[in-house]
Amino acid sequence: MDPLAERWRRAVSSLKELRLRVAYLRSELLRDDLPSIARALDDLCRDAEQASPVARDVLGAAVPVLADPALSERVDQLRELAASGALLSLSRLLRRKPRRHEAQPTSPPPDERHLATSSAGRALTLGERRALARRPTRAAFDALLRDPHPLVIRNLLANPRLTEDDVVRLAARRPANPEVMTELARHPEWPQRARVRMAIVQNPGAPPEIAVPMVRLLLRPELQQLVAAPDVPAVVRAAARELLERRPPVPHKPGGALEQ
């Protein structure tokens, strides 16, 4: 068992708040010893593939960190270490080519029909929409949930009036805005909820670099649902199928119920 991975298991198990777990993993993933981080993540990924709930909790805190665009260079380095060091479980978690070898998607210009407006019908500026997202009325939520700017979405996701149903609607919206989906995936709490997570991974517009790691957090019935979804990108569906194949046989509980 990798000693760094074991330390992460103990620390995450002792932290009950999701935000604290994510903050702890962020500090750990920014450590200087990147090879040790890669080995620890590979150890946890391997255990999570075998349905270890503790390893799954640690990965649940790591996935929002790995989704942060500010850390894309570090994630690319982890991919390279996984490939060169035959860390197969980590390679499956981060199954994407490094971003610097890919064409970067560009978001379309904002459609003012989807922006919040003033009482006079004027489209609000970005600053006005960000301020409104911190304290919106219920009537303003519909327009704010359609906002294309990630900074507006960031403020909205932190608003205590936002409900899980709202976030599921945001995650399921099609066509998806990749920047908005990334902002949602890097939030420390909302993607930990099963309905939100499933809405993200099933959205064909979710960038694979955030959807594929999130697949590692799914339970068996969720993986089966994802494999059967016809409009999910092939790389995401393949990750779900592969994880299903690696899960241990399902034991029966007393009374005929099945383990997850």
- The string of pLDDT tens digits covering residues 33-43 is 999 999 999 99
57 with 15: CB under 8 angstroms?
no
DSSP character for 247?
A: S
- Write phi, then psi, for 129 (nearest 5 degrees): -70, -35
Orientation angle between helical segments 220-228 and 194-202, nearest 10 degrees: 20
- Write phi, then psi, for 3 (nearest 5 degrees): -65, -35
Residue 121 pLDDT > 60, yes or no? Answer: no
CA 135 – CA 164 distance, rounded (Å)? 17
pTM, to two decimals: 0.84
Residue 70 pLDDT > 60, yes or no? Answer: yes
Q: What would the pLDDT profile of 202-226 be if each residue is shown by its tens digit?
A: 999 999 999 999 999 999 999 999 9
Considering the chain, what is the average pLDDT of its residues? 87
Q: What would the pLDDT profile of 146-186 be if each residue is shown by its tens digit?
A: 888 999 999 999 998 899 999 999 999 999 999 999 999 99
Residue 101 pLDDT > 60, yes or no? Answer: no
